[in-house]
Amino acid sequence: MQALRILIADDHPVFRKGLRQVIDEEPGLQVVAEAEDGAAALAMVRERRPDVAVLDVDMPRMDGFEVIRAIRGEGLQVALVILTMHKDEEFFSQALSLDVRGYILKDSAVTDIVGSIRAAASGTYFISPSISSYLVNRDRRIAEFEKLNPGLRELTPTERRVLKLLAEYRTNKEIAATLSMSPRTVENHRANICQKLDLHGTHALLRFAQEHKNEIL
C-alpha cells in the first residue's frame, strides 16, 4: 500500500523537525515536502501534490487560511490539517467552513498529528480533545441560526456556496472564477438568495453573509 504523502508548513524549523520525525516514524506516512511560509506551502502543494497538507495558521507571506482559500479556489485535491496556538472558536469555525478536516493545537501536536493526518486523508474529522466542545457549541448555534432563518433550507448547494464566498469578502468576479460561471450568473444567484432570505437593499446580502459567516455551512 502506498504511503500517504505529507506536506508540513510551519515557520519554526525546530517544531517542524519534531513533527517530521513523529510522522516519518509512523508506518504508511511519509513527509515529502516542508515549507517555512505560506507562499512556499502553496507552491509545494501545486508542485508535489501531497495527500495531506499540515498548515500552521500563523505564517509569513500568506497565513494558513489564505493558503487554504487559494487551494480551494484552484481546486487542488489535498486534505487539510490546521496547526494553531489559538483556542478560539472563530478560528475553529473558519477552519470548518473551509472544509479543514484536522484542527489541532500546537501544545498537543506531537500526540495528535498522526491521528489528524489519518482522519483527514480518510475524509473524517479530527479535533484536539481540548477544543472538541467548540464543535458542540457550533452545531447548536447553527441549528438555532437556521431556525431563525428558515429560508436557508431553500438554498440550493450552489447558492450556499455563493453565500459562503460572499462571507469571505469575495467579489462577484472572484466568485465567478471560483465556481466556473459568469458574473451575470453570480448576480442571478445573489438575487435568488435575497428573495429566499427576504433580504432587501443594496448591501443587505453582503452584510448578512459577513455577520453570520461562522453559521453559514
Binning pLDDT at 50, 70 and 90, where does residue 202 land? Answer: confident
Give yes or no for residue 133 having a pLDDT over 70.
Answer: no
Question: Per-residue pLDDT for 95 more than 90?
Answer: no
**What is the b/e burial string over 27-45, where b = at least 16 CB atoms within 10 angstroms of the residue's CB?**
eebebebbbbbbbbbbebb
Containing domain of residue 66, as a range?
4-130
Instruction: Give the list of residues 6+ apart from residue 154 with CB closer than 8 angstroms, or none.
Output: 196
- d(CA 79, CA 68) in angstroms, rounded, equals 10
CA 61-67-68 angle, 5° bins: 160
For residue 162, what is the domain's CATH number? 1.10.10.10
The predicted-structure confidence for 135-171, as pLDDT tens digits, reads as follows: 666 667 777 777 888 888 888 989 988 998 888 888 8
123 in the same domain as 146: no
Q: What is the mean pLDDT of the chain?
A: 87
Residues 77 and 170 in one domain: no
Is residue 10 situated within a structural domain? Answer: yes
Residue 62 shares a structural domain with residue 115:
yes
Task: Compute the distance between CA of residue 133 and CA of residue 127 in angstroms, rounded to an integer.
Answer: 10
Q: What is the pLDDT of residues 38-48, one digit of tens each?
A: 999 999 999 99
Q: 104 and 189: one domain? A: no
**Same-domain pairing of 116 and 18:** yes
Count how many domains the chain has: 2
* Chain mean position to CA 143: 20
- Whole-number percent of the chain with pLDDT over 70: 93
Residues in the chain: 217
- In a domain? residue 154: yes
